[in-house]
Amino acid sequence: MFSTSKALKATALSCALVMPLSACGGGSNTTADGKPVLTVQVVKDARAIKMSEMGWTKDLEQACGCSIQWQDVAASSWDQQRQASLAAGEVADVTISGFGSGDMGEYGSLFMDLKPEMDKLPNMSKLFEAEPYARAISTTTDGRILGGPSVARGAARTSNHMFINKQWLDKLGLEVPTTWDELADVLKAFKDGDPNGNGKADEIPMDFNAPGTGGFGLFQPNVLLASTGITVPNGPLGMYVKDGKVHNYLTDTRYRDLIVYLHELWEAGVISSDAFTHDWSKYTGTAKGEGKTAIVGFTWMWTPSDIFGPELGDQYITIPSLKQHADQKEPPVWAYNGDDLAYQADRIVVSAKVANKDAALKFVDAFYSPDISVQARFGTFGTAVRHNGENDYTILDPPEGHDNAADWQFYQSLADGAPGWLSDDIKLGLPSIHTEVVPVDAVYDEDYSHVDFDNDILYSNMPMTPEQTSAMNANNTGITQGAMSKFAQWVTKGGVEQEWDAYVENLKKNKLDENIEIEQQVYDAFKKNMGMIKVNLNNRAEESEQSE
């Protein structure tokens, strides 16, 4: 029997877990002088200062005419709080960068439908009119708009760029590798040849961002599957699309071959011994070396200066996708998450229970004004951004003590975690650090020429029905546990060839095939929706031409 005392203890426990996210049990909805109060939870980079210390947030308070109670959450600790918050049915008045389209499918009732409120969201309405794709990814399968997006078109098609130390290659008389075997030979030479010249065996030939128990993310070695013709997305574990058909590489022999290759590299001692255990800070800190002495020879990241720092960045070059074998017929491609970089759904959401509704809507809409969009992404006017005039901005160099412009951006803004709209009408003067990615990304032009962007891309923001979300989430528990534990084990200890058949059978028992079918349904529905949007856009363009 479930007693009242147990119920009270359960409620207290859920509040204890959720308290950083929202105020369980209520509280005052206005200040002493009558201003409405909003609790705003922000999931942000660990480098960032408190939201209340970011100068541009004062403009938000002015825009909403409210008092904001900021609840800062580090991205690294968010997952547990997120699960507790959803399970308890308690979310903050407004949440930024905390929930995604998967949450909207299963827990959509917790969030306000913004569609009926569009007359109170003029900036967001203007965005949706100009950017139909943004509206499409923000709209659930039953027609609701449960969150505002982030739209910031950029030149990059991927976050995963592959770098190698050219200075080390030159010192050892080596060519830039073009195949897996050539890369292995180069990494072994890096290990034994003292390429950084300090007389120590401290070189780390290959390093990568540690894969988590929840699946692969950015800057991890699964990206090498692009060598075999798989356009690797930053999405559901193992899923990808080829010729309009959804597949999953977790049971593909090409994935097995990659694991065999990585195990050989591990046995040769050319992969960092910390690759599966270090945190983000250790990964990026190690790559920055010691002064002008590089330590890491090969890895993946956004730009050279972003991972290796300004002291070492110019030692590295970007290299295109490798071939698995020199004589392979299948042309290599490259990973793609360009739509994810330019468009993010549900970047800002409002609680369905919010007390000060009008203030919350004003707060949300302010993010889609040009001034707040720019400041939320790059920093406060005067210190990080020069406001030259209407829709005209210059991003300033970092002040003394913040010599890395990327770190400075994350320090005092939400950077790419910000909701907002950097429209084509905005003139934005960017320092070189922010345009460094353009030539880096261009290295993959040849690889992307082998990608059919209409039929080989698994989009990042495809809405799902609650039933689809629930089914996939239930299946993913066993799939993810089975796949990720084996990946780390097989790379470090071997055994993939002997255990492969049993592993594949285990994933099938955990309904991997059902998840593939569901992902195909989601993909097909999204493609159909996008087709209708294209037709409407073409009709609108024709009508405009006729009226002229």
pLDDT confidence of residue 546: 53
H helix or E strand, kind and range, residue 344: strand 343-350
- Out of 300-314, 426-440, 458-472, 492-506, give the one with best mean pLDDT: 492-506
Mean pLDDT value of segment 165-177: 98
DSSP string for residues in 108-140: GGGB---GGGGGG-HHHHHHHHH-HHHHHHHB-
Mean pLDDT of the chain: 89
pLDDT in tens, 266-303: 999 999 999 999 999 999 999 999 999 999 999 999 99
Q: What is the pLDDT of residues 202-232, one digit of tens each?
A: 999 999 999 988 899 999 999 999 999 999 9
- Please indicate whether residue 78 or residue 268 has the higher confidence score (pLDDT): 268
Band (80; pLDDT cuts 50, 70, 90) = confident
Q: Are 217 and 209 in contact (CB under 8 A)?
A: yes
Asked if residue 532 has pLDDT above 70, the reply is: no
Check: pTM over 0.85? Answer yes or no.
no
Per-residue pLDDT at 64 exceeds 90: yes
Higher pLDDT, 393 or 339: 393
Burial class (CB in 10 A: 0-12, 13-18, 19+), 302: buried
pLDDT > 90 fraction of the chain, expressed in percent and rounded: 72
In the chain, the largest separation of any two C-alpha atoms, in whole Å, equals 75
Q: Report the Cα–Cα distance between both ends of the chain, in Å, rounded.
A: 75
- Segment 21-39 shows an average pLDDT of 69
Q: Say yes or no to pLDDT of 403 above 80.
A: no
